[in-house]
Amino acid sequence: MSDRVDLAALLDDPARAADVPLDDVAELYRNVATKIGLLNAVKSVLAARIVVASDSAPSHKPRAPKEWYSTRETAELFDCSTKTILRRAHDGTWQEGTHWQRGRGGLRFRRSEIEKSRPAREQSAPRVGLAYGPDVPPGRRRRLT
């Protein structure tokens, strides 16, 4: 019996293993064990190449941006504070159910809806006129007695 022919024949039809003469079974078993070891080594090398290729190759499918964001992620997205995001959610600027919803771990904001009403950057307090505008003069200084 030739090793290659017998192994190839057994791989094509494993039921033929029952027809192998008992005198050849031990030798054929050692040959199969050797081939399994070699195939496992080849399999490991191929798997390593797949991993290296997938790490270095750019992804073919760009990831779609996710739809629901946490408060912190929304603040980072719009470059503002989490306080601004929560204020807009609770003062009625963004409607619950449309723009945001309550979820596990806090509020979740729908990106497609909140982008339509992007929060404006908060401006620093005016130096002159305090809360009433530039035409109101600053208050006078008083002495503490």
| 135 lies in some domain | no
Same domain? 73 vs 36: no
Same domain? 8 vs 51: yes
pLDDT in tens, 49-103: 888 877 665 655 666 678 889 999 999 988 889 998 898 888 888 888 888 888 7
Domain count, the chain: 2
| 93 lies in some domain | yes
Range of the domain at 48: 3-55
Long-range contacts of the stretch 74-81 (C-beta < 8 A, 24+): 74/109, 74/114, 77/111, 78/114, 78/118, 78/119, 79/121, 80/119, 80/121, 80/122, 81/122
Same domain? 7 vs 51: yes
Question: What is the band of 4 on the pLDDT scale with cuts at 50, 70, 90?
Answer: very low
The pLDDT value given to residue 96: 87
| 11 lies in some domain | yes
